[in-house]
A and B are shown apart, each in its own frame.
Chain A
Amino acid sequence: MPVTLVSMPWQSLEGPSLPLGILRAVATRAGLPKPEIYPAYLRWAEFLMARTGEEINPHDYRGIAEGGIFDGVGDWVFAGVLHRDPGFGVSGLTAHAAARGIDVTQALRMREHAADFIDLAVKEILETEPTIVGFSTTFMQNVPSLAAAQRLKELAPEVTVVFGGGNCDGPMGAALHRNFRFVDFVVSGEAEDAFPALLRALGGDGDLAAVPGLVWRDSGDVQRRNQQGTAISPGRLAIPDFADYYERLAVSPAAAYVEPCLFLETARGCWWGEKHHCTFCGLNGTAMAFRALPADAVLDQVTTLVKRHQVLDIWMVDNIIDNAFFTSVLPRLAELDWDLRIHYEVKANLKPADLAALHAGHVRQIQPGIESLVSSVLGLMDKGVSGTHNVRTLRDGEATGLTVIWNWLYGFPGETPSAYEPVLSQLPALVHLQPPIGVARICLERFSPHFDNPALGFPERHPAAHYQYLYALSEEELTDLVYMFDTPHAGLSVEQAAPLRDRCDSWLADYNDSWLHRHDDGDAIVIEDRRKGWPERDHRIEGVWRAAYLELENGHTVQGLHRRLAAQAHDVAPASLTAWVAELKRNGLVFEESNRFVTLAVPSDPVKMEKA
């Protein structure tokens, strides 16, 4: 039973589809024929380049893939094809984008080519002579996948169409199946067990009713929904089989624009979210249970795939690194004399030794879920960290030479401008540390505590406005189908958030030219201040104050600092300590939040540069 698995735009061009690589591996492991993989997203980038003489190129693709998610711009490019109406949603989303300050010029140009591309992609899929075609759909892959599936069914009604992926989790899968009849089956939830079971059942060996998470139609054409399976155990996570993606990319005209990357998964779910689900986060869908690969399996996966595909950049898609990896995996990665560049998501309360372990293990970029520097707002999120923790992570990440990616989120029910003010006034002192890549109002996401519990502050919600320009469905159906919801604003108003945006814009503009460097010669700490907006100045800190400064690198209240110094037999009057810390703060050498202080100078000079 030949199977072709398809990944439509807007999967990242930098690598193969991880879900399809996993499905191919589990099918093979189950003794089933190897599915073909059709990377339609790469073909789309190539198609646009050829059609437009590279006026539309992979940079434009990336602009939509990375920047269009919260407004469904990528889905919208294919909405005209899905609805067989080239004008579908055009005026609506164009006006929506204008109001949100989003440029959709290139997306509009891409729409002109979408129908021809769907015809081409379906033709090429059918050339693989499949009996079953599976679409993996996450975020903006829904409309392009539906458009292709619809065309496929028109041309080859005998082919079975299966959907799976993040967009099919929970009620979304059933809604998709209900509203798009050309989709024969939807797999909701993790598919490692369901996919082989479905293939067997379709081959006459097994019962559709026994396939975990399957949404299907019975002989009476009534929709049936099997219960989603339990979370896949770590031992059943497979090494993905990326087939010939990299060979294909190497000869693609898109290759000139793409630096290939491996997308790997070493853990699933979130150990923090199991205990304290961050209130805004819907990322884990219905599978919060944390499962990590054993260290040997991580090493096996990394070394096998790096050798096989000769790619040194690795983007770990885990929502959070397993704490055990600091002692089990990273030291073993550190032993590899390879110039890897790894991205990992981590928790923000890392110690310098943890950051050093990451760096030694070839991790070069972390996403520590910083989200805010205001402790009371972090409390509203149930983040389990304080503003000073987060600043310390920014400082120590900088010192270690790690890129620290973070977004500043606001709009939490209960937050007030007065909570932000003391932090905003100190942002100029942080200008030498890595700024947020964006400042954004939180969005109500399905599966988040905010969504599941209206009492947390978002009782009124509607499918996000852009979905009406993607689907011709009632609000009731959209409510089941979609991931993002609009709500009346909570927390800061647009005007109240303006100073935060302005300060972060300045931070971003001045970061590359700002340094606050500290050198400790054992007798004294010398801090060289070369930050934009601050007078060029060197500070010398000696004697007991040197000891106090070194303690303050960990973050303390003045009382806590006093206790620590007393334990080291340093006798400093509390009033002197208070005055000294206040002086440091006046000079922008410490950050204060909720009565805790943390130092800001960085003991090394990593290379900062503009993104190419």
Chain B
Amino acid sequence: MYELPPDQLRGAGLAGLTFTRVRLTEPLRPGDGLEDLRLLVAATSHVVRLTWTLDGQPDLPVDRLCHLIPPVSGTGSAARAYAKEWSSLHRYGCFHYRQGPGFVIVKDLRPGADARRMRIEDEDASGFLRMAVTSHAGELDPATRDMLADAETFGLVLRAGDSHLVLPHRIRHFPIPAWAA
């Protein structure tokens, strides 16, 4: 188990920490901007075994975030209640995407939503993947920037100011059993 402040984890390159247990020494505030959520999306994608505490309460209904590694607790009673629900709804891989040649498959089995499997093709797929590896509209070409609004409508992207975040994580590691996700 490593103990790290969030900023150090952000800079650590999460790919090298797959299956590693990490305890964050400071709480995360996924309700403030997108950067803490971005860290959770990346940690979930790389299966970093994160132990973290929730500070504040995100505006989003918890069932939209429950695909991400849940907090173990919260800093106040509202955060604790949110954290508890997040943890109870969490199911690894319940909102993820997979990358193929010229297409992307998004699978959404989060509770409260209609189960869906979406295939994104051609330019839309490359645009989606570009959004997934960037965080600001300025990093996108105009055509991809134009897709942000649609992606947000479909619930694939969150936006705050000129920041964006692709909400499903790329599934790099399948669970055991592999066909459970």
Contact = CB atoms under 8 A, between A and B. Distances in A.
**Looking at B99, B103, B178, which has the most chain A CB atoms within 10 Å of its CB?**
B178
A310 B178 contact: no
A260 to B, nearest CB: 9
B176 A608 contact: yes
B177 interface: yes
A356 B97 CA distance: 23
Contact of A609 (B115, B119, B170, B181): B181
Given A310-B119, A310-B121, A341-B174, A365 B101 contact: no
A605 B176 contact: no
Contact of B19 (A312, A341, A604, A612): A604
23 contacts: A259-B117, A306-B100, A310-B103, A310-B119, A312-B98, A312-B105, A338-B99, A338-B101, A339-B98, A341-B178, A364-B174, A365-B177, A365-B178, A365-B179, A402-B176, A403-B174, A605-B49, A606-B176, A607-B93, A607-B173, A609-B175, A610-B180, A612-B181
Contacts of A338: 98-101
A337 interface: yes
Contacts of A604: 18-19
Given A605-B47, A611-B180, 19 more contacts: A303-B101, A307-B102, A310-B100, A310-B102, A312-B100, A337-B99, A338-B98, A338-B100, A339-B171, A339-B172, A343-B178, A398-B176, A403-B174, A403-B179, A605-B21, A606-B173, A606-B175, A609-B93, A612-B109
B91 interface: yes
B119 to A, nearest CB: 6
B82 interface: no
B99 A607 contact: no
Contacts of B128: none
A390 interface: no
Contacts of B178: 341, 343, 364-365, 402-403
A133 B109 CA distance: 41
Nearest to A313: B179
A581 to B, nearest CB: 28
Nearest to B109: A612
Interface string B149-181: 000000000000000000000111111111111
A611 B176 contact: no
A312 B47 CA distance: 20
Interface in A556-612: 604-612
A338 B174 CA distance: 13
B92 interface: yes
B101 A307 contact: yes
Nearest to B44: A607
Interface string A299-337: 000010011001011000000000000000000000001
A527 to B, nearest CB: 14
A7 interface: no
Contacts of A259: 117, 179
A17 interface: no
Contacts, number: 88
B147 to A, nearest CB: 20
Interface residues of A, number: 30
Nearest to B117: A259
A434 B177 CA distance: 9
Contacts of A398: 176
Interface string A403-426: 101000000000000000000000
Contact of B92 (A365, A403, A405, A607): A607
B100 A609 contact: no
Interface in B1-39: 18-19, 21
Contact of A306 (B21, B101, B172): B101
A611 B21 CA distance: 24
Contacts of A608: 175-176
A401 interface: yes
B83 to A, nearest CB: 20
Contacts of A612: 109, 180-181
A40 to B, nearest CB: 25
A401 B171 CA distance: 13
Nearest to A399: B19
Interface in B135-151: none
Contacts of B180: 609-612
A105 B91 CA distance: 32
Interface string A254-268: 001001000000000
Given A339-B170, A607-B173, A401 B100 contact: no
Given A365-B179, A607-B47, A612-B180, A401 B105 contact: no
Interface in A219-253: none
B67 to A, nearest CB: 12
Contacts of B121: 310
Contacts of B115: 256
Nearest to B177: A403
B69 to A, nearest CB: 10
A434 B98 contact: no
A63 B117 CA distance: 23
Contacts of A312: 98, 100, 105
Contacts of B179: 259, 313, 341, 365, 403, 611
A438 to B, nearest CB: 14
A403 B176 contact: yes
A310 B105 CA distance: 9
Nearest to B105: A312
Sorted from nearest, which 8 A-B pairs have the closest CB atoms?
A339-B98, A604-B19, A607-B175, A364-B178, A403-B178, A365-B178, A364-B174, A403-B177
B41 to A, nearest CB: 15
Nearest to A363: B178
